[in-house]
Structure formats: C-alpha cells, structure tokens
C-alpha cells in the first residue's frame, strides 16, 4: 500500500510539473486595442476577451494579454511604452499612427502574411494604406466611412425631419444645412460641437470644412497641404460666423470623443464626427437615451462630396523573440481571416470587410446605408510622411481662429506652412 501511495504521489508530482512546464512554455503576446468594438453588456474589453478566448482555444501555446486604451490618452501611453522599452506586441489601430511607428523602424515586416490570394481579394486602396515604403506593415481588418450623425428623434419631435436628406444617397448642400441649423436654433436646440482641444477625431473637422465649399485638404499628388485655398478658407469663415451666431457650438474645450458624448447624451442635435463604426460603438448609449441616430454625408456642392474613411488593422511590433513574433502574427491572422471570427469582428466594429469575397448581410438600415458611402471616399492621405506631426498644427490653427487670435486665412496659412514642413521630415 505504501509503495502504491508513493507511486501515485510521484505520478501526481510529475503531472503537476508537466502542467507547470506547459504553462511556462506559453508565449505571451501583449495586445493593446482602442475601443473600436461595440461592448458586451456595456463592459469595455469584454468582446475582446471573448475573441482572445477563442484564439487561445485554437492556439493553446499562446497567452494573449489585453490592455484597453482610450482615444484621448492612448497615443501618449503607447509612445511612453515604446520609449521605455515596454511596448506591446500587437496594436489594433489605423494607418495614421501605424505608419509613424513604421517610420521609426519599430514594426515587423508583414509581407509574408499576404498571399497571392490575399492580394487579389483585398482592395488595392486598402493594400496601399497598409504599406510603408512598399512593404506591408499593417494587416487590414475593415473599412468604414466618416460622416455626420443626426438625432432623428429630436428632429421628429420638432417637425423638422423633412429638412434632413434621408432619401437616395442623402446628399445635400450648405444652404440646406444652414436652413436646418437656423430652424433648430429657433427650437432651442444646439448645433454640432466644432471641437479642437486635441487631435482626437480631427479627421472630422478637416472633412467638414473641406466639403462645405468644395475645398481640398491636399493636392491630387498628396505632396502639399492646400487648406488655405479660397474654398477651404470660406468654409472656415462660415463656421466661425455660425459659432458666433449660435448655430454651432464652440468646441475649444472638446476633443472628438467629447463632442460625440454631447450628441449621444442628447445635448446637441448632431455631430460632425460619426460613421458606421461610431454608430455601432454608441448604439447602446443612444438606445438608453431613446435617441435614434441617422447618418448623412457632409453638406457639399453637388458632386463634390469627399468623405474621409477609416481603414482599421493590426501591426506587430518588433521583438527579438521569434516565438513572440510568430504568435503575434497568428493572432492577427485569426482576428482578420478566421472563417467565424473575422466576420464577427467586422460586424462588431460596425465596419465592412476590405475583401471582395466577403459580402456582409446587414440588418440595421443605417449600417446598410453606410455600406453605400464608399462612392464618396476621397483620397486617403493618412499615410503621407509626417501625418502624425501635422495633426498637432491642425487643432492649434482652429483654436487660434475660434479664439479670434487669427483670421480664417491667417489660421490656414499658418497650418499649411507648418504642415508642409512635416511632409519632408521622414
């Protein structure tokens, strides 16, 4: 009996040691993500954890550790971690920041992740947005338009819904928009927050201004910023006057997230920073406030609508441990290509697959409308050299204009002069 007990204990110890060794052999992948997926039960990160659990079930040798970021403080947190040598292994973001990290030489080359079949299936525009100097540094997950969001419930209550373009492609003019703003003011409702506290969500203000009179953000060759052209300056002048007249809200104290918070809480009638992704992300909050939101493109001269759009994807940061790099790439592939989870992820983000072979079935009518907005997409300039540095000059130019320190022309001349310098910094 004693001998049997000893053998049993020895086997138990061996099994325990084997289990411990197996656990120690797991490769840890640090995954940092901005909140691009709609939450589960209003719990931030819950969806991401379910995704990780599915990946780990299929890849038991990998331990993915999640850290959620916010759009305001997240970029600085990543920069600090990189400087301190404690960078994550995978980041879910967009080309604007990802290309900056590529320029710093801290990203893995992902060319080996793109098969010939992938290259034939993924749209060329998205592929170009995923490259830095000809090499893939981002693996794309989805695309989505940026546009305006309106509180349909509020407009219905005031009998103003017929002033909003909700038929056909929903295009409209500045004159129609201004008439609606005046009608809303008469009803005691606030217009959109024109935010400029930080760079957060600044694509919304640039696109808003570019569309009003058909101005341009950059030239066709993407070699120079052109926001000091006549039409862009006219748009900024109009916006400054609209703020002064109480048609729009002065957003010097707001970033993009704060402006959307005002909309989602029902305190303003619309937001200039919205889209299918943000609609999906804010759906639970809007439902709780009993707000039905609708999407519309920016007011623009007919035929000159130009929407900015999101390309979301994942990058892998350099690591001397080949096992970590391999595990990180497997996780990225799982997120974007797994037969079950890729479709779930795109839907949860309120985005659309960049692959021609994937046609999503969409029930929500606003998401369905958003899927038609690609025809309004303008040139994708988020991957030009110095994009991240340019953004710091944009919000400071708007602050100077809204505070009266500069005229619209002076503010845009300042921005163009400084922004064009960033194009040659890398």
What is the model's pTM? 0.79
Beta bridge partners of 309: 145
Q: To 10 degrees, what angle do helices 230-244 and 408-422 make? A: 130
Give 407's contacts (C-beta < 8 A, 6+ positions apart).
Answer: 401
Residue 110 CA from chain centroid, whole number? 21
pLDDT at 183: 98
Q: To 10 degrees, what angle do helices 322-337 and 46-58 make? A: 110
What DSSP character marks residue 331?
Answer: H
CA distances from 264 to 268, 283, 343 (A): 8, 9, 27
Tokens representing 394? 């944009």
CA torsion sign for 245, 251, 256, 258 is negative
* 8 A C-beta contact, residue 248 and residue 212: no
pLDDT at 357: 82
Alpha helix segments (H runs only) across 187-298: 202-212, 230-244, 256-264, 276-288
Beta bridge partners of 348: none
Count of all residues that appear for the chain in the document: 426
pLDDT at 11: 55
Please give the torsion angle defined by the CA atoms of residues 167, 170, 175 and 176, in that order, rounded to the nearest 10 degrees: 40
* 8 A C-beta contact, residue 29 and residue 64: yes
Residues of the chain whose pLDDT is less than 70?
A: 1-24, 359-360, 425-426
pLDDT at 375: 87
pLDDT at 19: 45
pLDDT at 125: 82
Architecture of domain 145-309+379-422: 3-Layer(aba) Sandwich (3.40)
Q: What is the pLDDT of residues 93-104, one digit of tens each?
A: 999 899 989 999
pLDDT at 8: 53
Alpha carbon distance 301, 211 (integer Å) = 8
Alpha carbon distance 262, 270 (integer Å) = 9
Q: Tell the CATH topology of 2-143+310-370.
A: D-Maltodextrin-Binding Protein; domain 2 (3.40.190)
CA torsion sign for 228, 404, 211, 177 is negative
What DSSP character marks residue 26?
Answer: P
* 8 A C-beta contact, residue 350 and residue 280: yes
pLDDT at 22: 46
Domains 2-143+310-370 and 145-309+379-422 equal at CATH topology level: yes
- Return the closest-CA partner of residue 36 out of 289, 346, 366, 271: 346
* 8 A C-beta contact, residue 409 and residue 233: yes
Beta bridge partners of 240: none
- Return the closest-CA partner of residue 241 out of 163, 311, 181: 181
How many H helices and E strands in the chain? Answer: 17, 11
Alpha carbon distance 414, 238 (integer Å) = 19
Q: What is the pLDDT of residues 106-144, one digit of tens each?
A: 999 999 999 999 999 998 889 989 999 999 999 999 999
Q: How far apart are the first and last CA of the chain?
A: 75
Beta bridge partners of 195: 251
Beta bridge partners of 249: 193
Locate the domains of the chain by residue range.
2-143+310-370, 145-309+379-422
Beta strands 309-316 and 249-251 are unpaired
* 8 A C-beta contact, residue 331 and residue 33: no
Beta strands 139-151 and 135-136 are unpaired
CA torsion sign for 333, 362, 378, 191 is negative
Q: Which residue is it, tokens 């928009």?
A: 177
């Amino acid at each position: 009996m004693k001998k049997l007990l000893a053998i049993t204990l020895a086997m138990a110890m061996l099994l325990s040691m084997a289990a411990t060794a197996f656990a120690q052999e797991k490769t840890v992948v640090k995954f940092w993500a901005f909140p691009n997926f709609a939450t589960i039960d209003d719990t931030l990160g819950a969806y991401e954890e379910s995704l990780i659990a599915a990946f780990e079930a299929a890849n038991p040798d990998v331990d993915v550790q999640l850290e959620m970021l916010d759009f305001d403080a997240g970029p600085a947190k990543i920069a600090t971690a990189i400087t301190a040598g404690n960078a994550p292994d995978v980041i879910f973001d967009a080309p604007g920041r990802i290309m900056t990290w590529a320029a710093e030489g801290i990203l893995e080359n992902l060319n080996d992740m793109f098969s010939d079949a992938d290259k034939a299936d993924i749209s060329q525009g998205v592929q170009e947005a995923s490259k830095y100097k000809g090499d893939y540094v981002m693996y794309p997950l989805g695309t989505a338009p940026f546009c305006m969001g309106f509180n349909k419930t509020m407009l219905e209550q005031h009998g103003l819904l017929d002033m909003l373009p909700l038929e056909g492609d929903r295009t409209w003019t500045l004159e129609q928009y201004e008439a609606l703003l005046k009608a809303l003011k008469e009803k005691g409702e606030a217009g959109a927050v024109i935010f400029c506290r930080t760079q957060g969500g600044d694509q919304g203000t640039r696109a808003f201004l570019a569309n009003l009179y058909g101005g341009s953000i950059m030239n066709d060759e993407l070699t120079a910023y052109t926001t000091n052209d006549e039409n862009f300056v006219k748009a900024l002048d109009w916006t400054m006057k609209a703020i002064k007249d109480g048609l729009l809200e002065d957003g010097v104290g707001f970033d993009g997230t704060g402006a959307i918070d005002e909309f989602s809480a029902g305190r303003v009638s619309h937001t200039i920073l919205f889209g299918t992704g943000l609609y999906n992300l804010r759906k639970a909050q809007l439902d709780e406030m009993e707000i039905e939101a609708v999407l519309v493109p920016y007011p623009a001269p007919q035929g000159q609508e130009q929407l900015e759009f999101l390309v979301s994807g994942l990058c892998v940061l350099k690591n001397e441990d080949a096992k970590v790099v391999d595990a990180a790439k497997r996780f990225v592939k799982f997120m974007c290509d797994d037969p079950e989870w890729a479709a779930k992820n795109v839907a949860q983000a309120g985005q659309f697959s960049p692959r021609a072979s994937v046609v999503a079935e969409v029930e929500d009518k606003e998401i369905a409308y958003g899927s038609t907005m690609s025809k309004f997409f303008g040139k994708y300039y988020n991957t030009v050299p110095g994009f991240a540095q340019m953004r710091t000059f944009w919000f400071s130019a708007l602050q100077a204009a809204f505070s009266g320190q500069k005229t619209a022309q002076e503010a845009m001349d300042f921005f163009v002069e400084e922004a064009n310098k960033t194009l040659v910094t890398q």
